[in-house]
């Protein structure tokens, strides 16, 4: 069975002081949430502070991005090796903000997926269609392309270190969530792609998260869908009460 995974993507938010406050609240509030895997992704500069607080907790550390080289003349970049060194378990890759605002393409994201796996970390590979693509009826084509590009030359064995996050771009930060049925339709499609790309075992064991305006009031219905294995949470992960409610979802 796939264990649910809830990841808080803090994006460009929180000072060191605010990070400490939030991780402390999440650490304490999640002590009894034993049925779910939890991670938070603070900004790079706050990873070390978050790590110190979360070391003995149920909450794992995630990074929001990385560069696909170990070290070298890459000014301004951070490698998976350094993220591992600081205690990260997960790295979010291919987020639509990286694709749209920073021009990341499928080949570059694929290099990052390889680099993260090689370092022994888990890659959270984000894919998702824009509103225009959904309205043009190309959602499945777009997702198939992003998945194929992102997982180029990734083996079935490597897939143990990959989580997929379906994040419809039109639902990110907009308050518009995909309906549980819309999300389930896409998740089932992604799982079928994993079966045809790899095998039934990989399709059944790979966690597929949903992201895009996940909130305390919609998480229960989303998580009730059979192919939703968790959530990548942006805005609602910045408030401890909201994030803790999401972690403690009740399938309805």
Residues forming the active site: 95, 167
Beta pairing partners, 210: 166, 231
Kindly list the distances between the CA atom of residue 74 and the CA atoms of 79, 81, 209, 226, in Å, as whole numbers in the listed order: 10, 14, 31, 42
| 62 part of the interface to ligand PGA, by CB under 6 A | no
Site for ligand PGA in 200-219 (CB under 6 A): 211-214
| 234 part of the interface to ligand PGA, by CB under 6 A | yes
Per CB under 6 A, the segment of 18-26, 46-54, 141-149, 234-242 that binds ligand PGA is: 234-242
Q: How far is the CB of 78 from ligand PGA (least distance, A)?
A: 19
The answer to whether the CB of 202 falls within 8 A of the CB of 181 is no
Smaller CB separation from ligand PGA, 62 or 154: 62
| Closest of 191, 197, 239, 186 to residue 216, by C-alpha | 239
CA-to-CA distance for 29 and 24, rounded, in angstroms? 8
Kindly list the distances between the CA atom of residue 42 and the CA atoms of 10, 20, 114, 238, in Å, as whole numbers in the listed order: 5, 10, 22, 10
Q: How far is the CB of 70 from ligand PGA (least distance, A)?
A: 27
Site string for ligand PGA, 142-181 (x = CB under 6 A): -------------------------x----xx--------
The answer to whether the CB of 43 falls within 8 A of the CB of 13 is yes
Smaller CB separation from ligand PGA, 146 or 213: 213
The answer to whether the CB of 162 falls within 8 A of the CB of 122 is yes
Smaller CB separation from ligand PGA, 150 or 211: 211
Q: How far is the CB of 232 from ligand PGA (least distance, A)?
A: 4
Kind and range of the H or E element at 7?
strand 5-9
Among 159, 232, 246, 247, interactor with ligand PGA by CB under 6 A:
232
Question: Residues interacting with ligand PGA, by CB under 6 A?
Answer: 9, 167, 172-173, 211-214, 232-236
């Amino acid at each position: 069975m796939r264990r649910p995974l809830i990841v808080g993507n803090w994006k460009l938010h929180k000072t060191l002081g605010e990070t400490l406050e939030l991780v402390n609240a999440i650490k304490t509030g999640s002590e009894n949430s034993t049925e779910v895997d939890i991670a938070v992704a603070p900004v790079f500069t706050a990873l070390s502070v978050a790590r110190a607080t979360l070391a003995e907790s149920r909450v794992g550390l995630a990074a929001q991005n990385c560069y696909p080289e170990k070290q070298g003349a890459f000014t301004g970049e951070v490698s998976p090796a350094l993220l591992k060194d600081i205690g990260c378990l997960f790295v979010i890759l291919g987020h639509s903000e990286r694709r749209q605002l920073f021009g990341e393409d499928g080949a570059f994201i694929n290099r990052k997926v390889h680099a993260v796996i090689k370092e022994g970390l888990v890659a959270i590979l984000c894919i998702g269609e824009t509103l225009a693509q959904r309205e043009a009826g190309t959602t499945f084509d777009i997702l198939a392309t992003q998945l194929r590009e992102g997982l180029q030359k990734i083996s079935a064995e490597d897939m143990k270190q990959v989580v997929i996050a379906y994040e419809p771009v039109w639902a990110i930060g907009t308050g518009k969530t995909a309906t549980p049925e819309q999300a389930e339709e896409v998740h089932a499609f992604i799982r079928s792609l994993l079966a045809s790309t790899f095998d039934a075992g990989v399709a059944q064991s790979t966690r597929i998260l949903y992201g895009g305006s996940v909130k305390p009031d919609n998480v229960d219905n989303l998580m009730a869908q059979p192919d939703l294995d968790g959530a990548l949470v942006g805005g609602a992960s910045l408030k401890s009460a909201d994030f803790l409610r999401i972690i403690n979802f009740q399938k309805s």
